[in-house]
Structure 1
Amino acid sequence: MLYSTTTPAEKRRVLRERLASGELLRFPGAFNPLSARLIAEKGFEGVYISGAVLSADLGLPDIGLTTLTEVAGRAKQIARMTDLPAIVDADTGFGEPMNVARTIQELEDAGLAGMHIEDQVNPKRCGHLDGKSVVDESTAIKRIRAAADARRDENFLLMARTDIRAIEGLDAAIDRAKALVDAGADAIFPEAMRELSEFEAMANALDVPILANMTEFGKSELFSTSQLQSAGVSIVIWPVSLLRTAMGAAGRALDTLNTDGHLTSMLGEMQHRADLYELIDYESYNHFDSGVFNFTLDQPGR
């Protein structure tokens, strides 16, 4: 009932333990707390919270318009819903190094198991669009060092994302990743890798876990989990997939309402009321109510 009883510290510890085991961890992107609970029910290892999804949820493009307060607040709502570790997209850290320091502490307090900070110029762009720019290595290192110095829980996963591959090539991405690890990054998110061999080269060059972003309609081919595991990837995310699927279904439902005037033909595509009630553990709330409000009021005059 209500929220997870597993503490954030325990979620972080488990995440570190599973990363050390060498298994591939699957983190589908949640677009709200309810979808996070569905991810957990379906047996995945973690929940990813995408900056693009948080922006889209507000009707905004993913160009750095969201604030730390908005991201931390929504991420907390999602992270507390399941026993799974949740990793959040912290964009460029929401400002200069001191802002980055505050960012990691706010996200620790929000119950996240980890976050990633990228090396794009602010305002940033979606990592799979053309025209993005990255900061110089010194600036990127300062962001990671600030986060590492400010972190209070050593198990909180500090991941560095680099977007330099699309601008300067794979060798530059490997060099940048090594510098970010030296600065304190626990894991690397190499954005917009084009070939499976590039993930493999990155994994072979580093002594920390790497993340693969399997976003649709982007620069990367949509590799399978078995392919990514064989290439040495430790975490795979599908950041916007559930939102895209849900919005596609919503659009088709609205079209059907326009044409048919009802949704009878789409009942088979909907989540049944019984399944929703089971997912939100409706019965536990009923049991709680009956246990607390188990009295009757005397009638007037008695």
Structure 2
Amino acid sequence: MADLLSNPGAARARLRELLRTASDDAPLVAPGAYDALSARLVEQAGFAVVYMTGFGTTASLIGRPDVGLLTATEMIDNARRIVAAVDVPVIADADTGYGNAINVVRTVAGYEQAGVAGIHLEDQVTPKRCGHLSGKQVIPAGEMVGKIRAAAAARRDPDFVLIARTDAAAVHGLDEAINRARAYADAGADLLFVEAPTSEDALKTVASQLRGLAPLVFNWAEGGRTPPLSLERIGELGYSLVLFPIGTLLAATSGIRALLETVRRDGTPAAALSGLPTFEGFTDLVGLPEIGALEQRFGS
């Protein structure tokens, strides 16, 4: 069904092109998806890239916080389902790579085989924590350099995008985070991601110090520690890729709660139905017409 499913290389080349053409006036926007359905909704809303959120994946798969509870297998399986559901490139959270540099080699192979267009790896210890939670710890910078070098060597498709994320700002300060990002760029990272700056001045410093080394990622974590700047301002600062990681998850949570409150109050969901997709509309959304066309084409 998804045209790019049979040719993941086309999705990766497309992501490279989108990043190349992203500008100060129009950074590339990647809303978060936590499952195949939310990914389809992101695509159908007209976005050119889907971001698989680790926070949302953890919440949707096991109903728990993002504190390193999921395995590489669980994350890669979710990525594979998301890739199969959409025709646009998917960038996936790969946490710490699930171990040392040797583990990272296997992690990259798994995500690449799943068809994703790119991943980000972070320099937290294992088990990690969401980048906007307190209590983070980071590994030595030299160890992370080795992991980035291993990731770059492990990819079979040179268009597979490697994003290096550092969480060091919350632990050792902004200067250390910037120095680490420089080292990660030298090690082969395609994009740089300094997680959770807490002020616009800090975001400006990151951009001024790192711009030109590699495209920069802005994590617009809904309700997180980074100030919620406008897309125009983010572009002015020099960020090329903007993630909105958990808005879809929060919206789904709010909608489900509202529906359940109606059922509990009234005994049925009737009063809420006017605000929901119709049954027929939903089956169209998830591709029933495509199934019908395939049945006509291949049925006896």
**CA distance in 1: counterparts of 2:90 and 2:297, whole angstroms:** 33
Deviates more, 1:210-219 or 1:87-96: 210-219
Corresponding position: 1:113 with 2:117: yes
1:13 alignment partner AA: A
Partner of 1:9: 9
Contact persistence 2:4–2:88 (CA under 8 A)? no
Mapping for residues 1-302 of structure 1, pairs under 5 Å: 2-5=1-4, 7-23=7-23, 24-57=27-60, 58-206=62-210, 207-294=213-300
Give CA deviations for 1:246-282 in whole Å, capped at 9, x if unaligned: 0111112111111111122211221222322222232
1:250 alignment partner AA: I
Identity of aligned residues (%): 39
1:32 alignment partner AA: D
Give CA deviations for 1:204-257 in whole Å, capped at 9, x if unaligned: 322211111111221112222112111111111111110111011111211111
**CA distance in 2: counterparts of 1:5 and 1:22, whole angstroms:** 21
Distance of aligned partners of 1:3 and 1:45 in 2 relative to their CA distance in 1, 3 Å threshold: closer
1:108 alignment partner AA: E
**CA distance in 2: counterparts of 1:223 and 1:271, whole angstroms:** 32
**CA distance in 1: counterparts of 2:19 and 2:181, whole angstroms:** 18
Contact persistence 2:52–2:91 (CA under 8 A)? yes
Give CA deviations for 1:152-173 in whole Å, capped at 9, x if unaligned: 1111000111011112222111
Partner of 1:300: none
Q: How far 1:115 moved relative to its partner?
A: 0.3
Runs of 4+ in structure 1 over 4 Å off: none
Which is greater in Rg? Answer: 1
1:117 alignment partner AA: L
Q: How far 1:34 moved relative to its partner?
A: 1.6
1:34 alignment partner AA: L
Give CA deviations for 1:184-216 in whole Å, capped at 9, x if unaligned: 111111110122333332223222111111112
* SS of equivalent residue, structure 2 residue 164: strand
Q: Which runs of 5+ in 2 are unaligned?
A: none
Of Structure 1 and Structure 2, which has the larger fraction of its residues in helix? Answer: 2
TM-score w.r.t. length of structure 1: 0.93
**CA distance in 1: counterparts of 2:69 and 2:243, whole angstroms:** 22
Q: Which runs of 5+ in 1 are unaligned?
A: 295-302
Contact persistence 1:165–1:173 (CA under 8 A)? yes
2:145 alignment partner AA: I
* SS of equivalent residue, structure 1 residue 221: coil
